[in-house]
Amino acid sequence: MLKMFCRIPFLQVCALLASALICAQCGCGLKTERTEERPKPSMLEQVLAVQQGISSEIRSSATIDEAGFEQLRGLRGLEILALTHADVSDKIADVLSSLDGLRQIRLEKATVGDPSARAIGNLPKLSSINLPNCIISDEGIREWPLLNELVLLRIGSPNLSDSAIETVVKMRSLRFLHLIDVPITDVGLKHLYRMEHLESFYLDGGHSTEDGVTALLEAMPKLHFHRDQQHLPNDPRGKDHGKH
């Protein structure tokens, strides 16, 4: 080590020692400077970004009430709307009708019913609907088969029944279906047999029996199926789940 320093000019050695001393005093060493996480933009800031053409999406985990939802009215550049805490009712139906550019909608905690469902049914570009806590009935989704680009439907409502599954079957573009606490029975499961284009079906809750589910898997052996977020022992695709 001494020989190495002897080969370095005296002034360079002094500079190196001085630099090391400063680092030691400042506590910098090899530590990286901490950067503060930037706050997420507010709902209003995101609305302005869409209006200015800077963004096409709004995502928020803050509680959004009906007054806050009103900010979206006529926001034609909006394509993705994802609200984790949407404390809203069917008073937002009129606002929904004005979002004709919407492609994806996710409203958690929203207790919306048939008026909002009918408004959603008139949004022709929708490819994803995610309403896990709604109160929509069979009648509310009657026009949803007209959504020709709908690929994913995740819905939870105690007011849907086996008749709703007959409507779902008519959604020819649908590939992914997730029902949450929908009181579907084995009769409803049988309607799904006709959905040869369905790739994935998640069923949480409901009134279907083990025999009904077994019959579904036999009729649709290529279907990726979860019951209450788990593969069943008799699921033919359970073993190769990790490959998908």
> Whole-angstrom Cα distance, residue 121 to residue 117?
6
Q: What percent of the chain lies above the pLDDT cut of 70?
A: 79
- CA neighbor of 149 nearest in space, from 109, 107, 100: 100
> Whole-angstrom Cα distance, residue 75 to residue 65?
17
Which pair of tokens denotes residue 60? Answer: 């928020």
Question: Higher confidence at residue 7 or residue 172?
Answer: 172
Does residue 234 form part of some domain? yes
Does residue 240 form part of some domain? yes
The number of folded domains in the chain is 1
Question: Higher confidence at residue 3 or residue 151?
Answer: 151
pLDDT tops 70 at residue 30? no
* Furthest CA-CA distance within the chain: 90
For residue 234, name the pLDDT band (cuts at 50, 70, 90): low
**Which pLDDT tens digit goes with each residue over 59-86?**
999 999 999 999 999 999 999 999 999 9
Does residue 133 form part of some domain? no
What DSSP element (H or E) covers 61? strand 57-64
Sign of CA dihedral 41, 108, 63, 117: positive
**155-177 average pLDDT score:** 98
Domain range spanning residue 183? Answer: 161-244
Query: Residue 37 has what pLDDT?
Result: 66
pLDDT tops 60 at residue 239? no
Helices marked H in the chain: 2-6, 10-26, 43-51, 66-69, 93-97, 114-120, 162-169, 186-191, 210-219
**148-174 average pLDDT score:** 98
Does residue 119 form part of some domain? no
> Whole-angstrom Cα distance, residue 109 to residue 134?
8
- CA neighbor of 218 nearest in space, from 235, 198, 196: 235
In 77-170, at which residue ranges do the beta strands (DSSP E only) sit?
Answer: 80-86, 104-107, 128-131, 152-156
- CA neighbor of 208 nearest in space, from 222, 179, 188, 236: 188
Domain CATH for 173: 3.80.10.10
Does residue 212 form part of some domain? yes
Average pLDDT across the chain, whole number: 86
- CA neighbor of 238 nearest in space, from 206, 213, 207, 212: 213
**34-48 average pLDDT score:** 82
Does residue 80 form part of some domain? no
Helix (H, G, I), strand (E, B) or coil at 30: coil
> Whole-angstrom Cα distance, residue 106 to residue 35?
32
> Whole-angstrom Cα distance, residue 177 to residue 184?
13
**Which pLDDT tens digit goes with each residue over 173-220?**
999 999 999 999 999 999 999 999 999 999 999 999 999 999 999 999
Backbone angles phi, psi at 189, to 5 degrees: -60, -35
Does residue 26 form part of some domain? no
pLDDT tops 80 at residue 21? no
pLDDT tops 70 at residue 26? no
Query: Residue 229 has what pLDDT?
Result: 82
Does residue 51 form part of some domain? no
For residue 36, name the pLDDT band (cuts at 50, 70, 90): low
